[in-house]
Structure 1
Amino acid sequence: MSENAILPVKVSLSEGDFYTLWAPMWKEHGAEWQAFLGDEEHVLLFRSPAELLAHLDETPKHDLSSHPKWKSFAASGDDRVVPDERSHYDLIGVPALLAERPSHVNVSSVARALRLARSLGEVTAATDATVFFASHSVVGNVERGVDHFAAESGLSEWSAIGRAVLTNWRKVIASLDEQVKIAEVDEAAAAAAGERIDAAVAAAEAERLAAAEKRKAETEKADPYDASAWAGAGIDPVRIAIQGKTVYTLRTYLDRHPVFLGKFGEIFTFSSGKTLLRWMVENDDHDLAKVATWEGLVLSANGGELEMEVHKDNSYSFTGLVKDIGAGPNAVDTDQMAAAYELMADAADWAGDDSLNSYFLANPRMQDYISYMLGSPGTSGYVPSEPFSDHAKGWQELEEILTKRFSR
């Protein structure tokens, strides 16, 4: 329960269920205060939230109008007078709850009811109520929660609270009944207020459902990989299908520059993800070992908690590209080619050698071809022409430059 709150509450007393506003303990100018909606002589009760709202519309001055949060409360929606399920305080039902076992529901319900009864007694100076709480400190133990009554002496203490309530509760309720007044509200005003409440409740429910749908859509759209240990470490598994085989390695980016699992330009590759994970645990002589998050991944792998997860953006397939290039530009999947070329360029960048640049200097038309296929500027109007087998042969040579970097 937050400090400075004003709460709509449903209270069960001798005459039935009623609605009012409760301001639990708050601090102001160094003093502690608590209050209910009242008219200086009584706490006012209403037969429905609609009657409560109608009264607030017609009565600007009351015991809560000086509360530090009143303006904020009054400016909120018309459904501000509707209590939630946990704001039902069944004072009449307290003895029956104490006659049952101390379950979570029973303990929390009794605690909430006693809390409001104590506050109502103190605010209205209801003698029998204030005397009861002052004389039976044991009832305050319900605030400790259900776990308190799970201890060895818990049931006996629960019974002691029950006996204290059973003996005194009738007088407590009678003293509270004397301090409250059922307010009379114009029926037409209450009916109009009820329509406004219904509209506000419907709007709030629609907003809740819309927010839930948005959260659901965002959850469905979220990439599961983002929650993986790899994503957390910023080091990604890479799968490469090339020249009839599939290999696995790892890559990260430091200052936008690629760093592969490897050393001296050799990319360490593995025939399966499991083999790579086992190798990680026993080897640290490679470039990724210098990355701050590497050790955390190794610890996870050593504990059997790390699984090989390859994001689709880190899965590269060279399969069929040589054949498709030989068939002509329209046969080539340019997305597949762009991803494959990205991997080749990353490998050359990490290795720090001139093999790729040297190849293009020796074969300028191959660079023009790739630029044309990938939509890069600077192709000088170049358009591929037959025989396309020359381009296929050039691409195969680029693949071989890459695979020569793979460990054997």
Structure 2
Amino acid sequence: MSTRAIYPVKLSLSGGDFYTLWAPTWTENGTQWQAFLGDDSSVMVFASPAAMLAYLDSGRSHDLSSHPSWARFSALGDVRVVPEEKNCFDIVGAPAYLAGRPSHENVSRLSRVFAVSRSLAAVAAADEAQIFFASHSILGNADRGSDHFAGENGMSEWTGIGRVVLANWESVVHSLDGAVRLVDPADSDGGEAAVDSAAQRISAAQAAREEERARAAAEQEKAAAAADPYDSSIWGLAGIDPIKISAQGKSAYTLRTYLGSAPVFLGKYGEIFTFPSPKHLVRWIVENDDHDLAGVSTWPDVLNAAHAGELEVTVHPDNSYSLTGISADIDKGPDAVDTAQMSKAYEIMADAADWAKDDSLNSLLLANPRMQDYLSYMLGSTNSSGYVPTAPFTDKAQTWKEMEEQLVGRFSKF
């Protein structure tokens, strides 16, 4: 069984605006059904959403109580009887849409009016309206949207619908007028008091809903303001990051990702392919595919953006590494060193060595155990074993230079 929702609707007919419930086509036990709020004699309409709510609260029987989604609809609260703008159908005013051009608004509104009018005619057995819709297949073109009328014959088709409606719509509306019965809950037990109570509850429910919507919108705004736009970029979505490395008075650009905890660079056989500018990097990506990142599952996303001319290299601050001045600062003493800068620089050195499967960095540190102690102390490692750096620091500065040279030595261009 497939079901569709039950909608509150406003129908503008000859006698004014009326409110009821509409259940568009649903399938049950292999049979298609459609219905409006009604009883054995006719479709029931009400002068206001409050009047309809008072009637529903009275517990009186109606056809929609057997709809498979009725329980779910009934649980929606007091605002369930208030139609949204798209469910307000100006049936009597439909010719006005055809007086204008076949814009998206005019075509979509006309299509919706045709849909609810056709359904109302079928449910209420409004003969003239049924014959009208059955006799003019051109009316179905409104369901194709405004693009259908943008072609060579579009305006002539739109005019054709206009002629059919102009000649017949008055009798269609008259037929639909007779298909509905205005119900006044004030005539039953509870009377005007029940309608007034329903109106107050609807008003309170609408105020609560607007307050909730405002709160949700404020939260979304706050979340959007706090969100990092990089996360929604092609790089953030692909999980492949442009990185910038500055050392020895120069800067180089490349790419890196992580598979699990293992770093993978744009490169091959331990050589990191580096470029002097983002433009050089993008141009190379378009023309080359022989590198380690080509095997990453999201690489085609990056490549497609590059081929489409939509790839811009944006380096997130977390992926910008500066080795400039660290060696000189080490030589001056621990207080002169920017430990955050040093930590990031050591990260890129270690990542590059891990990816290249090269033990040179580890071998260098093993050959200089005091440098290991120094790095542990400066970077806050728990393995510093009580070590405290003491002057002179020339040997530490020299070892750091060698670590830098190992990293730069992996670059294809620098």
How far did 1:315 drift? 0.9
SS state at 1:65 partner:
helix
Comparing 141-150 and 7-16, the one that deviates more = 141-150
Equivalent residue, structure 2, for 1:375 = 380
Of 17-26 and 157-166, more deviation after overlay is shown by 157-166
Q: Give the letter aligned to residue 71 of structure 2.
A: K
Quickly say closer, same or farther: Cα 1:86–1:241, change in 2 above 3 A. Answer: same
Q: Which amino acid in the other structure matches residue 40 of structure 1?
A: D
Aligned 1:160-239 pairs, distance under 5 A: 160-184=160-184, 185=186, 186-231=191-236, 233-239=238-244
- CA distance 1:203–1:327, shift in 2 (3 Å): farther
The alignment partner of 2:130 has SS state of: helix
* CA distances 1:244-265 after superposition (whole Å, capped 9, x unpaired): 2222233333453333344554
- Where do residues 103-142 of structure 1 align in structure 2 (5 Å cutoff)? 103-142=103-142
Q: Indicate whether 1:8 and 2:8 are aligned.
A: yes
Change in CA separation of 1:280 and 1:8 when aligned onto 2, cut-off 3 Å: closer
> Scaled by the length of structure 2, what TM-score is found?
0.86
Q: Which residue of 1 aligns with 2:366?
A: 361
Which 10-residue stretch deviates more, 99-108 or 366-375?
99-108
Equivalent in the alignment of 1:240: 245
CA distance in 2, matches of 1:97, 1:261: 59
What is the CA-CA distance between 1:279 and the residue it aligns to? 4.4
SS in 1 for 2:380: coil
Partner of 1:257: 262
| Matching residue of 2:74 | 74
Query: SS of the residue aligned with 2:65?
Result: coil
Structure 1 residue 337, shift from structure 2 partner: 1.3
Distance 1:289 1:138 in 2: 54
Cross-structure match for 1:320:
325
Give the deviation of 1:365 after TM superposition. 1.7
Q: Hey, what does 1:28 align to over in structure 2?
A: 28
Letter in 2 for 1:61: S
The DSSP-based 3-state class of the residue aligned with 1:392 is: helix
Q: 1:275 & 1:160 partners in 2: Cα distance?
A: 58
Residue 3 of structure 2 contacts residue 69 of structure 2 at CA under 8 Å; is this kept in 1? no
Structure 1 residue 36: deviation in Å?
Answer: 1.5
Label 1:401 to 1:167 Cα distance change in 2 as closer, same or farther (>3 A). closer
Query: Which sections of structure 2, spanning at least 5 residues, go unmatched?
Result: none
CA drift of 1:80 comes to: 0.8
Greater shift, 189-198 or 94-103, is seen at 94-103
Contact 1:240 1:247 in 2 (8 A): yes
Distance 1:278 1:101 in 2: 47
Equivalent residues of 2:3, 2:68 under 8 A apart: no
Q: Cα gap change, 1:257/1:131 in structure 2, threshold over 3 Å: closer, same or farther? A: closer
Q: Secondary structure at the match of 2:63?
A: coil
Q: What is the CA–CA distance in structure 2 between the aligned matches of 1:280 and 1:59, rounded to whole Å?
A: 69
Partner of 1:56: 56
Residues 252 and 100 of structure 1: is their aligned pair in 2 closer, same or farther, counting only changes over 3 Å?
closer
Are the aligned partners of 1:20 and 1:46 in contact in 2 as well (CA < 8 Å)?
A: yes
Q: Which runs of 5+ in 1 are unaligned?
A: none
Query: Matches of 1:63 and 1:278 in 2, distance apart?
Result: 67
Percent of pairs with identical residues: 60
Q: Deviation at 1:68? A: 0.9
Judge which range, 114-123 or 259-268, deviates more: 259-268
| Count of aligned residue pairs for this structure pair | 407
| Equivalent in the alignment of 1:271 | 276
Moved more, 276-285 or 397-406: 276-285
Give the C-alpha shift of residue 309 in structure 1: 2.5
Deviates more, 1:372-381 or 1:283-292: 283-292
Q: Structure 2 counterpart of 1:32, which letter?
A: Q
Inter-CA distance 141–300: structure 2 relative to 1 (3 Å threshold): closer
Q: Say which is worse superposed, 203-212 or 13-22, in terms of deviation.
A: 203-212
User: Which stretch of the first structure deviates more once superposed, 87-96 or 349-358?
Assistant: 349-358
Greater CA drift, 379-388 or 85-94: 379-388
Say if 1:205 and 1:386 are closer, same or farther in 2 by CA, change over 3 A: same
Paired residue secondary structure (2:66):
coil
Which residue is 1:336 aligned to?
Answer: 341
3-state SS of paired residue (2:64): coil
C-alpha contact (below 8 Å) 1:3/1:24 kept by paired residues: no
Query: SS at the partner of 1:383?
Result: coil
Following the alignment from structure 2 to structure 1, what is the Cα–Cα distance between the partners of residues 344 and 181?
77
Q: Which amino acid aligns with 1:365?
A: R
365-374 or 349-358: which moved more?
Answer: 349-358
Cα deviation for residue 52 of structure 1 reads 1.1
1:46 match:
46
Greater mean alpha carbon deviation, residues 80-89 or residues 234-243: 234-243
**Which stretch shows the higher mean deviation, 65-74 or 98-107?**
98-107
Output aligned runs, 1:148-163, within 5 Å. 148-163=148-163
CA RMSD of aligned residues (A): 3.0
One-letter code aligned to 2:340? D
Aligned equivalents of 2:308 and 2:197: distance in 1? 66
Aligned to 2:406: 401
Query: Deviation at 1:81?
Result: 0.6
Report the residue type matching 1:306 in the other structure: L
